[in-house]
Structure 1
Amino acid sequence: MRATLRFLADLPVYDEEQPYTLYGFPEDVGPKTNCVYEDVPGIEINDLRHSSTTEQFLLPACGFQLHRQPSASRLRADMFEDFRNRPEVGAYLEETTHLAMQALNAPRALCIDWRFRRSGSTSGVRDQLDEIGKARHRALAPAGVMHCDYSYRGGLTTLQKHLTPDEFQDVLGGGGGLKSVWRALSRVENTPLVFCDRRTVRLEDALELDQVSPAQVEQSMVLKYRASQRWFWLSRQDPEEVVLFTSWDSVRGGDILGHTPHGAFVEGEAGEGYGKPRESVEVRLVVMWQHETADT
């Protein structure tokens, strides 16, 4: 199928300025962002369900892979939206952590974040900076801009925040990375997730984005469009069809992006006004293949 996807516009300003967005600052501080986005229509989105070569869609190669695994939890929106359901959410996060370990043959993984999203929501991830503890229990809008969750620097900062110095060095040496596990709460009919084969992305088309709040600066990436990019989705994705994708990879160098660009449809057959709202949960993990305890 063909759909419209949203990208960072290819403008000369980004040759001199790094893209940025400000959150939580007074209105008189100046421009809140220098990002200009464009909707690119008619992009071919390849359906993984009809692919005869699914063996090529593996995490180490393209940056994402499918994994069929029913959840032991009774997934529903209020489970993630009600702050009082923390034990149920905790059980799902633990289950998903073990799923990632099994799927990736990793001896250890650490859950560091999760996001519940619903199409049609107007909330952004930083809309509740003064209530960060409860922000995870509010439905966020799907991310319509094609992006990567972390830049290389942003991934390093995140790892240092959650790991011991020894664990950090293990991951930095190729013993792990940041992965995400994405699951729909019901069959997806609206704003499905799309992924780009990272092998088809030119490194210079993935630009680091500074996300600046009064307390910190986080770095993600936004993508410029090129016709050489190959995009994929899974039609009628159901809750048992989980997507694992690479958010950050310690391997740097060469000409392959160490992150997986992704986002949601803007319009088309499965766009915002089509079908019932999409509800999904994404779990972010540090996955480690090398880990030695202090007793070894």
Structure 2
Amino acid sequence: MPAVQATLEYLQKLPLYEEEKPYWCFLPPHEGFDPDALRVDNLEFENHLDIKIEDIRELGREVTIDNYGFEVLQHQSEFARFDRARDVEQYREETEALLEEKMGAVHVKCYDSRLRKNITFVRNALDLNDLLLTEGPARGAHNDITYESGPIVINRYLSTDAKRKFLRPGYRIRIVNTWRTLNPLLEDRPLALCDSRSVDPEDLVAADRIIPNAVGEVYYLTYNPNHRWFWLEKQTPSEPLAFVMYDTKAGSHARFCPHVSFVNPNASQGAAPRESIETRSIVITKE
């Protein structure tokens, strides 16, 4: 199908960020907390209009994680809905088996997942440990891991035995996301993926993402007209996307993949709000 022209959200290039590191602090709702009175981030985004987003289907088999940073997998999940925490746990296990098979991995550890729905949430309580917690689409083009936070994540989530076995020469370690729509046919708020080969190092801005008991670091993307964006038109649940966030192997291949959802100009009127599940996994292969 022809490419679409859509609006994408980027981090602004502010002088502030030369003196103050971008940050986002997640504070669960609680009595006395007013997010309008207490600023919990210093992130300022801007919309860029008429960005060309090409359809992955036009590229065929040349699209792989190694050369583009993303890939479309063919896989039918056992789960169409998530009503119990155990469903999410089993989906994580299913994802581990999927990535092991598709990437020829010797070890996969799915350490995080996130349910999302494109609706407005109003709530007075939030539990980040709830596997059924559902959030809205994430803001701003970003990459979930940086070159600094990658080793920290790997050390945090690999078992002692796995670290002893795999943290040595001969193994390649990647952090890979999967993203699956739960809509029978996705129209609302699809995901756009950026070819990492079109990203200059100075386009990436490291930002702290602070949650209770942990601090992570992500990259936000600033605008560059050379960025090349892709999406999967009419994505179905059996077409999960896999894309790399971090890679210990040096070289010119894709080692990250900025991404962001966008308003689909081709969506039919009254299209169902996007629902999706994403995972984050440590994937280890032999070099």
TM, length-normalised to structure 2: 0.86
Match of 1:11 in 2: 14
* Deviations 1:129-170, CA, capped at 9 Å, x for gaps: xx2222x31221111311001112222221111124674473
Partners of 1:123 and 1:140 within 8 A in 2 = no
Counterpart among 62, 73, 80 of residue 75 in structure 1: 80
Match of 1:232 in 2: 230
Q: Which amino acid aligns with 1:61?
A: N
Match of 2:138 in 1: 143
Deviation at 1:90, TM superposition (A): 2.6
Partners of 2:85 and 2:132 within 8 A in 1 = no
Quote the Cα distance in structure 2 between the aligned partners of 1:123 and 1:222.
26
SS at match of 2:243: strand
Q: 1:177 to 1:255 in 2, by over 3 A?
A: closer
* Deviations 1:84-140, CA, capped at 9 Å, x for gaps: x2333332222221111111111221110111111114379xx83xx2222x31221
Match of 2:152 in 1: 157
Deviation at 1:34, TM superposition (A): 2.0
Matched, 1:245 2:248: no
Match of 1:282 in 2: 278
SS at match of 2:94: helix
Q: Which amino acid aligns with 2:140?
A: V
Mind listing any 5+ residue stretches in structure 2 that lack a counterpart?
none
Quote the Cα distance in structure 2 between the aligned partners of 1:74 and 1:215.
31
Matched, 1:60 2:66: yes
Partners of 1:209 and 1:219 within 8 A in 2 = yes
Q: Percent identity?
A: 29
Q: 1:69 to 1:36 in 2, by over 3 A?
A: same
SS at match of 1:248: strand
CA RMSD of aligned residues (A): 2.7
Q: 1:210 to 1:256 in 2, by over 3 A?
A: farther
Deviates more, 1:85-94 or 1:24-33: 24-33
* Deviations 1:1-59, CA, capped at 9 Å, x for gaps: 1000000012222233221122329669974322210011100000112x1x3233110
Quote the Cα distance in structure 2 between the aligned partners of 1:246 and 1:4.
23
Quote the Cα distance in structure 1 between the aligned partners of 2:154 and 2:148.
10
Matched, 1:23 2:23: no
Deviation at 1:236, TM superposition (A): 0.5
Q: Which amino acid aligns with 1:7?
A: Y
Partners of 2:190 and 2:264 within 8 A in 1 = no
Q: How does 1:68-217 map to 2 (within 5 A)?
A: 68-71=74-77, 73-76=78-81, 79=82, 82=83, 85-122=84-121, 128=126, 131-134=127-130, 136-164=131-159, 167-168=162-163, 170=166, 175-185=172-182, 186-217=184-215
Deviation at 1:222, TM superposition (A): 0.5
SS at match of 2:73: strand
Quote the Cα distance in structure 2 between the aligned partners of 1:41 and 1:109.
39
Mind listing any 5+ residue stretches in structure 1 that lack a counterpart?
292-296
Q: Which amino acid aligns with 2:60?
A: T
* Deviations 1:45-90, CA, capped at 9 Å, x for gaps: 00112x1x3233110111100111112x1412xx2xx4xx233333
Q: Which amino acid aligns with 2:22?
A: P
Quote the Cα distance in structure 2 between the aligned partners of 1:217 and 1:255.
29
Partners of 1:123 and 1:139 within 8 A in 2 = no
Q: Which amino acid aligns with 2:237?
A: P
SS at match of 1:228: coil
SS at match of 2:134: coil
